Amino acid sequence: MKKIIVACGSGIATSTVARNALEEKLKAKGIDATQVSMDQTSIPQLRSKADQFDLAITTGKFTEDIGVPVLNGLPFLTGVGEDELVQKVIDALDLKPKA
C-alpha cells in the first residue's frame, strides 16, 4: 500500500479539500483505499512525518527536500490542472487500476 500525506497551513482546512478531491479522482480511475492510504498534517510538521510516506502533497508553498516527492496540491483547490496532478500522483506511486 502506498501512503500519501496532504499538508496545508493548519493541517485541517485546505488539506481536507485536497485529500477528498484526490480520493474521488483516484476512485474514478479504479484506484481505491486498498492501494492508497492518506493522512493530513500541517506544513510545519511535514518534515518530521515525511519518512512515513511515499508522497507528499502541499496546498501551500513548500520547496524543501524531505526525502519523498512533493507535489503542489493547488489544483485540487482551484480545479485548474487537477487531472494532470492526479496523473502525476498515479505515475509517482506507480498505481494501477484494479481490474
Q: What is the 3-class SS of the chain, one letter each residue? A: CEEEEEEECCCCHHHHHHHHHHHHHHHHCCCCCCCEEEEEEEHHHHHHHHHHCCEEEECCCCCCCCCCCEEECHHHHHCCCHHHHHHHHHHHHCCCCCC
Q: Does the annotation mark 82 as catalytic? A: no
Catalytic residue of the set 7, 8, 36, 57:
8
Catalytic positions are 8
